[in-house]
Amino acid sequence: MTSLNKNHAVITVFIHSIFIVLMFFLPDLLHHYTKANGLWNLSIWSFARSAVLVFVFYVNYLIIIPQLLLKRRRWVPFVLVNLALCLAAALLMRYLGHLEHLEWVARDSGGVVRPQLPLPTADLVSFILRDFILQIMVTALAVALRLSRKWIDLEQKHQQALVASREAELAGLRQQLNPHFLFNTLNSIYALIAISPEDAQRAVHALSHMLRYIIYENPEEVELDREVDFISTFVELMRLRMPDRAINFSVDNQAPGATIVPLVFIAQVENAFKHGNTANHSEPIDITIRANHRCIECLTANGIDRKASRDKGHGVGLANLRRRLEIIYGDAAALHTEIVNNQYITHLTIIR
């Protein structure tokens, strides 16, 4: 048993102990304490009657409800078994109440117990019916608590399954992201080899640092500065491939120590280079990353390349990015895209 399970078991026992005292023993205790004018005059039979209530509760909570309701959902046997149990418990409580009454009479008469006239039948039935209804209420309480516990357990399992499913989906998306990024970058270096072998060597060196970040230094969250350095290396790599292209990259980080999930900007930045209008060098590629105490943003803008827009894979990276954001951040993150003045603009916002 793990320490977490042990702690849960201890807490459960403690809660049930408090519940037993408050629900079953304390009312009787206060009643007889007032009546007896002192704790030392309490009768053992009053505690025995409370113990019957505890017995009925836990026989239902631990045995009858799990076996007949939770496993088999057999309501008729459940009702019949409980009617018999409650009737037997009511009769037992009536007998214990009679013994308690005899003890009080013996105390008041100095130990001499005179024969008592039997209760009228109507009064006897009334007492038994009262105790029977009390047992029914205890049974209903056990059903309510047990079904609530079952619902909580099912909800926890559902949440665990949901988390496991999302983690598996997120892992799959990241596995799609890394080969996609690597494939595009290798294509860039391949094109660079024919133009400038020295720049190609620098690009391979930069790529090695990027791969180290992706493969070996990729925790659940990283500092924003590290992610910016990664994007900066990627932008420099693209500058080597496109020396004639105007590339504007700016960072405004007013939130030192801010953290973010790794590789959250790369699909957006990659998309700007891949689908930008490479035929027109006068159209710059603008990349801006900024952060403050409220949010982290990444904005990209690039001219539209109609030919590239018809590419089959267009939009796959951004679709994966949207899914990652949904899984990790939920409503706290959003990716908006629009076309303004023949420019394709993306705007990623993450609320801190």
| Domain contains 233 | yes
| Domain contains 167 | no
Q: Which of 109, 138, 160 is the last residue of a domain?
A: 160
Q: Which of 110, 142, 160 is the last residue of a domain?
A: 160
Q: Give CA angle at 179 (176, 185), nearest 5°.
A: 135
Range of the domain at 269: 196-351
pLDDT tens-digit profile of 130-164? 778 878 888 888 888 888 888 877 777 777 766 66
Average the pLDDT over 252-265 and give the result: 90
pLDDT tens-digit profile of 76-132? 888 888 888 888 888 887 777 767 655 554 555 554 445 454 545 555 566 677 778
Q: What pLDDT score was predicted for residue 153?
A: 78
| Domain contains 115 | yes
Is residue 238 predicted with pLDDT exceeding 70? yes
Q: What pLDDT score was predicted for residue 350?
A: 95
CATH number of the domain that 347 lies in? 3.30.565.10
Six-digit token string for 160: 């665990």
% of the chain residues with pLDDT over 70? 68
| Domain contains 183 | no
Q: Give CA angle at 116 (113, 122), nearest 5°.
A: 150
pLDDT confidence band for 313 (50 / 70 / 90) = very low
Is residue 219 predicted with pLDDT exceeding 90? no
pLDDT confidence band for 341 (50 / 70 / 90) = confident
Mark whether 135 and 266 lie in a shared domain.
Answer: no
Structurally, the chain folds into a number of domains equal to 2
Mark whether 206 and 328 lie in a shared domain.
Answer: yes
pTM assigned to the model: 0.55
Average pLDDT of the chain to the nearest whole number: 76
| Domain contains 239 | yes
Mark whether 105 and 226 lie in a shared domain.
Answer: no
Q: What pLDDT score was predicted for residue 261?
A: 87
Strand residue runs (E) in the chain: 222-223, 247-253, 259-260, 285-291, 295-303, 333-340, 343-351
Q: What pLDDT score was predicted for residue 113?
A: 47
Average the pLDDT over 330-339 and give the result: 91
Q: Which of 160, 186, 217 is the last residue of a domain?
A: 160
Q: What pLDDT score was predicted for residue 29?
A: 61
Is residue 186 predicted with pLDDT exceeding 70? yes
Q: What pLDDT score was predicted for residue 172?
A: 61
| Domain contains 182 | no
| Domain contains 27 | yes
Q: Residue 42 gets which letter from DSSP?
A: -
Is residue 316 predicted with pLDDT exceeding 50? yes
% of the chain residues with pLDDT over 90? 16
Residue partners of 265: CB distance under 8 A and separation at least 6 = 227, 231, 289, 298, 348
Mark whether 135 and 226 lie in a shared domain.
Answer: no
Mark whether 86 and 233 lie in a shared domain.
Answer: no
Q: What pLDDT score was predicted for residue 300?
A: 95
Mark whether 152 and 233 lie in a shared domain.
Answer: no
pLDDT tens-digit profile of 1-57? 455 456 556 666 777 777 777 666 666 665 555 454 544 455 566 677 778 888 888
Q: What pLDDT score was predicted for residue 177?
A: 56
Six-digit token string for 320: 């994966």
